[in-house]
Amino acid sequence: MGPMRNGARIGLECETPMTNQQQSLVHARALTKRYANSFTAVDGIDFDVRPGKAFGFLGPNGAGKTSTMRMIACSSPVTEGTLSVIGMDPRTQAREIKAKLGVVPQHDNLDTELTVRENLEMYARYFDIPRDVANRRTAELLEFVQLDERAKDQVEPLSGGMKRRLTIARALINDPELVILDEPTTGLDPQARHLLWERLYQLKRRGATLIITTHYMDEAEQLCDHLVVMDKAKIVAEGSPRQLIDQHSTKEVLELRFTDAVREDLNGQLNGQLDGLADRIEELPDRHLLYTENGERTLEQVNLRKIPVESALVRRSSMEDVFLRLTGRSLVE
């Protein structure tokens, strides 16, 4: 945790003794969220978030990610099960937990009646941070998210990416032990996403603990050390992105596309012709995915069988493949 000590530039001087390293920052057992209409959003999930790691919840919309986040952030009561956050109980110590959390909600809730700088300064007041400390952190954080030149501007004219960055800066104002980000890049253009990822990377390198929800596989693979895949209120798989791919998919994937004519011609026979070429074959509306240890070799065999392929692509397995395997569906539908 060495680099952490130099984290003063963004006001992230973590005060947690790192002897607690073995302890988990968030500990959940049989955690359940049921709403008044008896809809079960989270159905008895177990997980542990280790300090200094980026922990990801991956899953489609409605999988229960946001409900889980809201319980961790003490903004939604736990229905059943055990949850401890930074060693405290959200049922009785919400105020103390919130003092040590940074929250980036799914929908921006910046104060549009205040300027960029006032947003951070006022938020610092909510945390009871002394004025001189608040002013110093505000300046540091505006620089960190590259908004120092917009400090005096109103919030409304800012772009979506800038607002997100300001929200992240705001979440760091209290020097949190744990930062919760709910779909941080949803709705942003690719350039804004990459800039945001880069900032989150910096944050991670300084030793911050992050919890991120996303339905983008690339985001999960880029940012997260540890992932849980959620589907229909349950956790369906867990591990590092690499482990999940190793466990639930093959090393490589051969993607084959056929012309509509070929598809119709061969009709049911296509699958028969591909039979035995790969460990597993997924048939998607527009292509076939052949899961194999060596994509090039499999492609050679496809060609040997004289199967009329329109185009072929060999790639490494990704989280998308894991998700497809586990749930039979694509992540973003």
3-state helix, strand, coil in the chain (%, to 5): 40, 25, 35
Shortest Å distance, C-beta 322 to another protein:
32
CB of 75 to another protein, least distance (A): 6
Write down the least CB distance from residue 94 to another protein, Å.
8
CB of 218 to another protein, least distance (A): 27
Segment near another protein (CB under 8 A), from 110-118, 232-240, 259-267, 288-296? 110-118
CA distances from 10 to 18, 44, 125, 262 (A): 19, 37, 18, 58
Contact between 168 and another protein (CB under 8 A)? no
Q: Is 80 in the site for another protein (CB under 8 A)?
A: no
> Cβ of residue 138: shortest distance to another protein, in angstroms?
14
Q: Is 156 in the site for another protein (CB under 8 A)?
A: no
122 interacts with another protein by CB under 8 A: yes
Shortest distance in whole angstroms from residue 182 CB to another protein: 11
116-139: burial string, b at 16+ Cβ within 10 Å, e else: bbbbbbbbbeeeebeeeebeebbe
| 99 contributes a contact to another protein by CB under 8 A | yes
Please tell me whether residue 137 binds another protein under the rule CB under 8 A: no
- The verdict on 39 binding another protein (CB under 8 A) reads no
CB 216 to another protein: min, Å: 24
Determine if 152 is a binding residue for another protein (CB under 8 A): no
Size of the site for another protein (CB under 8 A): 27
Binds another protein (CB under 8 A): choice among 79, 89, 127, 238: 127
How far apart CA 64 and CA 70 sit, in angstroms, is 10
Q: Please state whether beta strands 226-231 and 54-58 pair in parallel, antiparallel, or not at all (unpaired).
A: parallel
Residue/partner pairs of 31-34 with CB below 8 Å, 24 or more apart: 31/68, 31/71, 31/78, 31/80, 31/81, 31/82, 31/83, 32/78, 32/79, 32/80, 32/81, 33/64, 33/67, 33/68, 33/71, 33/76, 33/78, 33/79, 34/79, 34/80
* Residue 57 engages another protein in binding (rule: CB under 8 A): no
- Is 73 near another protein (CB under 8 A)? yes
* Interaction site with another protein (CB under 8 A): 73, 75-77, 94-96, 98-99, 101, 103, 105, 107, 109-114, 118, 122-123, 125-128, 174
